[in-house]
């Protein structure tokens, strides 16, 4: 088999590239997917009891009109539900609205003062030095109190790496910075401050979870253009040929890869050993998703919540989504059932016992007053993926500057959440647009924006 364009992976990036090629009238392409289903990390699963689960707490919001239009084509206007974001932090046995730093009035007076004192010290002695890593950025932005109470413990739970091992260039719009005047006003006037953030409102599929979106895009691409159960074993960049694990060979003119960059480089024969070794320095965390299906109705204080953050050590999870609130069809019977979906990160710096993870999660949910009794549990689900989040480590940008151009010399382009390893542009919309922009570049020489200019892409809400 021979194609002009071969795309490895049918997640949002691979499907975005394929959809755009087809839209441009190009038919000479194939998408290779190692699983027997499409969607990558944006897949959804239905457990034995009929509960739907995503691979993590995906929500749908966008920087791009192109993405919005495609979402409507994929599911239709009636296929979506729109939600007002309601996110909270569970700490000191109480819920604090997010962003945490703007709502410290909810905390005990001692903790509130610790956070405020750190901000005052920072205001009196601001740092003029550029932060060398994410830990320094946190200290320079939030002060010692907020760092100790929330930012450092929470970010370790999320990333599974100490913030000192991460760079600060990825932060951008993803973390609300702190305004001492605003925080003080909120305390004195007892004011809630909930408006920050790019996803104040978000969409979610009515049926089928996040995976339904990408199944819809896959249908637009065409089943004939997607080959499942097609795991790449080797890449011969000189002959421009892929060898699949079952022995099939596929020739290409241009290749786009979305599998993890560190793994991919080991499959490219003849690639400079230094480049392959360099790619192995990229860091990532694993993701464990634990779904708990429950009978009855959620407690009143969970009835409208979307997701909650958990910085404290008693729980293995860093975030829980009230997944039945996203769509009533995420549970078999919304009148009598509801669901919680927990996320637990994992790395060599933060090992996890997957054998006991469901039990540990249920124990913590009881402690955190999310569920009242184990007797209410009607379904338990766990899904673990070794590649969950690409870590924006201190050394990441230097590695990418060497590895990505080295592959391009062979007409191999690595894109997407793990193909390009840029967390700051790896939401569903970013990932799809990395594929779309690659297709535009290949077909018409249009420069790519999202991958190479993340700050610009992230400033383009809906444009």
For position 188, what pLDDT does the model report?
Answer: 79
Contact (CB, 8 A) for 430 and 258: no
Other C-beta atoms lying within 10 Å of the C-beta of residue 433: 30
CA–CA dist 321, 197 (Å, integer): 18
CA–CA dist 159, 37 (Å, integer): 28
Residue 3, SS3? strand
Domains in the chain (CATH in brackets) are 2-42+65-74+209-282+392-458 (3.50.50.60), 96-188 (1.10.3110), 284-390 (3.90.660.20)
Confidence (pTM): 0.93
Closest CA to 196 of 179, 218, 217, 221: 179
Give 36-51 as a DSSP string. SSS-GGG-EEE-TTS-
For position 175, what pLDDT does the model report?
Answer: 55
pLDDT 10s digit of each residue in the chain, 463 long? 999 999 999 999 999 999 999 999 999 999 999 999 999 999 999 999 999 999 987 877 788 999 999 999 999 999 999 998 889 999 999 999 988 988 999 999 999 999 999 999 998 998 888 899 999 999 999 999 999 999 999 999 999 999 999 999 888 544 555 777 777 877 778 777 765 555 578 899 999 999 999 999 999 999 999 999 999 999 999 999 999 999 999 999 999 999 999 999 999 999 999 999 999 999 999 999 999 999 999 999 999 999 999 999 999 999 999 999 999 999 999 999 999 999 999 999 999 999 999 999 999 999 999 999 999 999 999 999 999 999 999 999 999 999 999 999 999 999 999 999 999 999 999 999 999 999 999 999 999 999 999 989 988 754 4
Which positions ≥6 away from 24 have C-beta within 8 Å? 439, 440, 443, 444
Q: In what helix (H) or strand (E) does residue 224 lie, and over which residues does it extend?
A: none
CA–CA dist 361, 356 (Å, integer): 9
Other C-beta atoms lying within 10 Å of the C-beta of residue 228: 15
Which positions ≥6 away from 259 have C-beta within 8 Å? 8, 9, 34, 232, 418, 419
Contact (CB, 8 A) for 316 and 360: yes
CA–CA dist 387, 347 (Å, integer): 10
CA–CA dist 186, 370 (Å, integer): 27
For position 419, what pLDDT does the model report?
Answer: 98
Closest CA to 405 of 224, 279, 223, 303: 279
E strand map for 260-323: 284-295, 307-309, 319-321
CA–CA dist 158, 170 (Å, integer): 15
Closest CA to 163 of 130, 135, 189, 185: 135
């Amino acid at each position: 088999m021979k194609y002009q364009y071969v795309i490895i992976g049918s997640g949002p990036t691979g499907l975005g590239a394929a959809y755009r090629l087809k839209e441009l009238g190009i038919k000479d392409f194939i998408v290779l997917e190692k699983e027997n289903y499409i969607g990558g990390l944006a897949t959804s699963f239905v457990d034995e009891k009929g509960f739907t689960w995503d691979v993590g707490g995906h929500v749908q919001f966008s920087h791009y009109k192109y993405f919005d239009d495609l979402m409507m084509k994929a599911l239709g206007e009636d296929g979506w539900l729109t939600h007002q974001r309601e996110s909270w932090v569970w700490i000191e046995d109480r819920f604090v609205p997010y962003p945490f730093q703007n709502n410290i009035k909810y905390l005990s007076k001692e903790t509130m003062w610790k956070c405020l004192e750190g901000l005052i010290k920072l205001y009196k002695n601001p740092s003029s030095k550029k932060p060398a890593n994410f830990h320094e950025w946190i200290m320079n932005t939030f002060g010692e109190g907020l760092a100790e109470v929330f930012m450092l413990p929470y970010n370790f739970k999320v990333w599974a790496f100490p913030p000192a091992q991460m760079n600060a260039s990825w932060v951008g719009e993803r973390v609300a910075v702190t305004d001492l005047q605003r925080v003080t006003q909120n305390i004195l006037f007892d004011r809630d401050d909930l408006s920050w953030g790019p996803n104040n409102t978000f969409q979610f599929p009515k049926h089928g979870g996040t995976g339904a979106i990408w199944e819809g895009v896959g249908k637009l691409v065409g089943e004939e253009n997607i080959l499942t159960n097609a795991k790449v074993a080797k890449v011969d960049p000189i002959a421009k040929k892929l060898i699949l694990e079952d022995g099939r060979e596929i020739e290409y003119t241009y290749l786009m890869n979305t599998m993890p960059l560190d793994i991919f480089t080991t499959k490219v024969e003849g690639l400079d050993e230094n480049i392959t070794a360099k790619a192995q320095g990229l860091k990532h965390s694993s993701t464990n998703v634990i779904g708990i299906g429950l009978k009855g109705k959620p407690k009143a204080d969970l009835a409208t919540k979307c997701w909650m953050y958990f910085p404290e050590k008693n729980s293995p999870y860093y975030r829980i989504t009230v997944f039945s609130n996203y769509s009533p069809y995420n549970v078999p019977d919304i009148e009598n059932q509801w669901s919680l979906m927990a996320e637990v990160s994992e790395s060599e710096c933060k090992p996890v016992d997957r054998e006991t993870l469901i039990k540990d999660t249920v124990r913590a949910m009881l402690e955190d007053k999310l569920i009242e009794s184990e007797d209410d549990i009607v379904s338990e689900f766990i899904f673990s993926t070794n590649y969950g989040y690409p870590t924006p480590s201190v050394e990441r940008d230097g590695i990418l500057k060497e590895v990505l151009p080295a592959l391009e010399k062979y007409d191999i382009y690595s894109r997407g959440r793990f193909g390009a390893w840029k967390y700051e542009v790896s939401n569903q919309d970013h990932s799809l647009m990395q594929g779309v922009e690659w297709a535009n570049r290949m077909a018409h020489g249009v420069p790519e924006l999202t991958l190479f200019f993340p700050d610009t892409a992230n400033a383009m809400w809906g444009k």
